[in-house]
Amino acid sequence: MALPPQLKSIQHHLRTAQEHEKRDPVVAYYCRLYAMQTGMKLDSKTPECRKFLVKLMDQLETMKKELSDSESISQEIVGNAHIENYAIKMFLYADNEDRSGRFHKNMIKSFYTASLLFDVLSVFGELSEENIQHRKYARWKATYIHNCLKNGETPQ
Amino acid sequence: TGSVGTSVASAEQDELSQRLAKLRDQV
């Protein structure tokens, strides 16, 4: 289903959900939950957004049933730890590549995905100062390295 | 019709909020 333009800012979180559907359904579930909550704040009044959000809610309810055996879904505190560990793992992989001078598409994507997952952590409550800093750094690094590679420059 | 439209919209919005709360075991 096409994403209404009013909900454009959740498109990357929804794409991350799609990419993790098989690899890590818990990540997919919480990315969609974040998109749902954010989408409702952005616009849940216009018919096109309501329609989109109702579909997304249907999908979340189905996923919750299918994943009911997973404690990361039935207990949000476990889910919180799962998403935080995953985000930090992504961040550390990209950071390690960065510090070793290995710049490539995969590490840019890891930095960016980590930053999106730090956004997702906000469904569990206010982000810690450390996670806010990690998110800022990961997003900046992803943009910076992407631009360097695009312009044929070596990142510093 | 404007107010009917508005109340339909807010009822649907409410339903969505309720479903979200239920999904998160907050009811």
Shortest alpha-carbon distance between residue A44 and chain B (Å):
6
Predicted confidence (pLDDT) per residue in A60-100, tens digit: 999 999 999 999 999 999 999 999 999 999 999 999 999 99
Q: Residue A45: which of B9, B20, B25 has the nearest Cβ? A: B9
Nearest Cα residue in chain A from B26: A76
This model of the complex carries an ipTM of 0.85
Predicted confidence (pLDDT) per residue in A30-45, tens digit: 999 999 999 999 999 9
> How far is CA A114 from each of CA A68, A117, A123, B27, rounded to the nearest angstrom?
26, 5, 15, 31
A-proximal residues of B, 1-27, CB under 8 Å: 9, 12-13, 16-17, 19-20, 23-25
Question: Angle at Cα B22 formed by Cα A124 and Cα A84, nearest 5°?
Answer: 20
- Phi/psi at A118 (nearest 5 deg)? -65, -35
Spatial separation of the C-alpha atoms in residues B20 and B27, rounded to whole Å: 10
3-state secondary structure of A100: coil
Split at pLDDT 50, 70, 90, the class of B14 is: confident
Q: What percent of chain A has pLDDT over 90?
A: 97
Mean pLDDT over the full length of chain A:
97
**Are B20 and A36 in contact (CB < 8 Å)?**
yes
Split at pLDDT 50, 70, 90, the class of B6 is: low
Burial of A8 (0-12, 13-18, 19+ CB in 10 A): exposed
Element (DSSP H or E) covering residue A73: helix A71-74
How far does CA A73 lie from the centroid of its chain? 16
Orientation of helix B2-23 relative to helix A47-66, angle to 10°:
20
Burial of A44 (0-12, 13-18, 19+ CB in 10 A): buried
Nearest Cα residue in chain A from B6: A45
Shortest alpha-carbon distance between residue A58 and chain B (Å):
9
* pLDDT surpassing 70 at residue B9: no
Shortest alpha-carbon distance between residue A62 and chain B (Å):
10
**Are B20 and A54 in contact (CB < 8 Å)?**
no
DSSP A67: T
